[in-house]
Amino acid sequence: MDISTNLSKITGSATAQIFSIAKEMESEGKDIIHLEIGQPNYGPLTKIIEATKNALTNNETGYTVSKGIEELRESIAKYHEKNDNLKCNYINEIVITSGAKLAIFGAVWSVTNSGDNVIILNPSWVSYKDIVISLGAEARFLKADMDFNYDINELDNLIDTNTKAMIVNSPCNPTGAMISEENMKSLAEICRKNDILLISDEIYHEYIYDENKHYSLFNIENWKEIGVVVNGFSKTYSMTGFRLGYVIGDKKIIKEINKVMQLTASCGTNFAQHGAIEALNVIDEMRDFIKNDVVPLRNNVIKLLDNYDIEYLTPKGGIYVWLKIPSNDSTSWAQSLLENKGVALTPGRAFGPDGEGFVRICFTKDYDQLEEGIKRIGQFLAES
Ligand SMILES: Cc1ncc(COP(=O)(O)O)c(C=O)c1O
């Protein structure tokens, strides 16, 4: 039996691979520091858990409409109206998905055919390219820096008549880069001119540091003619296992993504959606938590890194730090670090061609773990 050509091109998540080796080592009694998985170290607020439990008690266990409970879509619209001055019709311009991952799938699926291509600003989250490839399209990488500056000639060379979408993720996983207003405007203009769907993944938009400001696709005039915004509940609210994301955009695209939901998950998990309604109710508490717990972790990780001879890019947003390594084989380097020092992190190569020579750590971890992990990385660098 032949395996699908599209799927056989996909190697699987490097983070998951490192995680499974680390787990095996742990089961052999080794002391492992986990800095690989991109997950907040705090759980959802008790009020979110209670709302989810109440929904279960009230038998909210069946299918919901495929685009998600109306009250949740209305709450999302209100949240973005307050946050981004967004005017949108939650009846047909928002669809709830099973995680932001399925939101990206839906957005790419809605505009690509086999043989098309999608431009991904790079370094970039590991799953974008695999999503694109699994749908029979080609992933084309455009190198971008910490402000998402890119080479316009390089972009011109990447675009052809089969270019159907472009994915930008700010704040960025893995680098912590944030797109400037100027660069979002220029990408939007290029997408408008070439009839390319701009998919703006803004899942880390509540994690912003120092004086940096999040520039959303929502800020672009007539943005619905150009692109869609993807967001979700996994990161800000630490609801990774609830599997809830969403897309906001023009009703024409949302209708197609809703078809993807009908075809795949059917709908977001019913009782989880009730938890998400409560999450949006308690956003101010979540923001206090981020201010009091996550921001200090981000500031501390930088202080810790400065104690050693470790080169890194200061994250402007998100929950990761991008470390430079003295090797052009980040996969072997990460494996050797794990074997020798028991620190699990993600090799930069997994984040696309421009990720080589770097590794990613997630800093939303217990401080002691972070301190010990960085100490071991510092030692490893000093010894190698
Ligand atoms: C940039 C980015 N987008 C989307 C996702 C997927 O999130 P979800 O758990 O909602 O599927 C992740 C998860 O790591 C991410 O880093």
Amino acid at 80: H
Q: Which phi and psi (to 5°) does residue 122 adopt?
A: -130, 145
Testing ligand 1's pocket by substitution, the residue of 235, 237, 247, 364 carrying the most ligand atoms inside 8 A of its CB is 235
**Which residue has the least CA distance to atom 14 on ligand 1?**
38
From the CA of 103, how far away is ligand 1's center (Å)? 9
5-43+284-383 belongs to which CATH class?
alpha beta
State the pLDDT at residue 276: 98
Say yes or no: CB of residue 245 within 6 Å of ligand 1. Answer: yes
Amino acid at 366: D
CA distances (Å), origin 265, targets 64, 133, 259, 260, 316: 11, 20, 10, 8, 34
State the pLDDT at residue 119: 98
Question: Would 5-43+284-383 and 46-282 be classified into the same CATH topology?
Answer: no
Q: Residue 18's pLDDT band (boundaries 50, 70, 90)?
A: confident
Say yes or no: CB of residue 346 within 6 Å of ligand 1. Answer: no
Contact 187, 156 (CB under 8 A): no
Q: What is the pLDDT of residues 308-357, one digit of tens each?
A: 989 999 999 999 999 999 999 999 999 999 999 999 999 999 999 999 99
State the pLDDT at residue 139: 97
Residues 248 and 86: their CA atoms lie apart, in Å, by 10
Say yes or no: CB of residue 199 within 6 Å of ligand 1. Answer: no
CA distances (Å), origin 230, targets 9, 195, 240: 25, 19, 15
Q: Which phi and psi (to 5°) does residue 316 adopt?
A: -85, -30
State the pLDDT at residue 227: 98
What residues pair up with 346 in beta bridges, in sequence order?
A: 360
Whether the per-residue pLDDT at 67 is higher than 80: the answer is yes
Say yes or no: CB of residue 176 within 6 Å of ligand 1. Answer: no
Closest atom of ligand 1 to CA, residue 245: 10
State the pLDDT at residue 13: 73
Q: What is the pLDDT of residues 249-266, one digit of tens each?
A: 999 999 999 999 999 999
Residues 326 and 87: their CA atoms lie apart, in Å, by 48
Q: CB 188: neighbour CB atoms within 10 A? A: 24
Say yes or no: CB of residue 341 within 6 Å of ligand 1. Answer: no
3-class DSSP assignment, residue 218:
helix
Contact 298, 363 (CB under 8 A): yes
Residue position matching structure tokens 């809605």: 110
Closest atom of ligand 1 to CA, residue 204: 1
Where in the chain are the domains? 5-43+284-383, 46-282
Say yes or no: CB of residue 232 within 6 Å of ligand 1. Answer: yes
Say yes or no: CB of residue 203 within 6 Å of ligand 1. Answer: yes
**Which residue has the least CA distance to atom 16 on ligand 1?**
173
The percent of residues in the chain predicted with pLDDT above 90, rounded, is 93
Retrieve residue 320's tokens: 């990761």
Q: What is the pLDDT of residues 258-304, one digit of tens each?
A: 999 999 999 999 999 999 999 999 999 999 999 999 999 999 999 99
**Strand 312-313 to strand 138-143: parallel, antiparallel, or no bridges (unpaired)?**
unpaired
Q: Residue 362's pLDDT band (boundaries 50, 70, 90)?
A: very high
Q: CB 50: neighbour CB atoms within 10 A? A: 12
**Which residue has the least CA distance to atom 7 on ligand 1?**
100
Burial of 42 (0-12, 13-18, 19+ CB in 10 A): middle
The architecture CATH gives domain 46-282: 3-Layer(aba) Sandwich (3.40)
Residues 172 and 355: their CA atoms lie apart, in Å, by 13
Retrieve residue 323's tokens: 């470390």
Say yes or no: CB of residue 123 within 6 Å of ligand 1. Answer: no
Say yes or no: CB of residue 273 within 6 Å of ligand 1. Answer: no
Q: CB 43: neighbour CB atoms within 10 A? A: 13
Q: What Rg, from alpha-carbon coordinates, does the chain have?
A: 20
Closest atom of ligand 1 to CA, residue 101: 11
Testing ligand 1's pocket by substitution, the residue of 37, 127, 319 carrying the most ligand atoms inside 8 A of its CB is 127
Amino acid at 274: H
What residues have CB less than 8 Å from 280, skipping those under 6 apart? 72, 75, 76, 78, 79
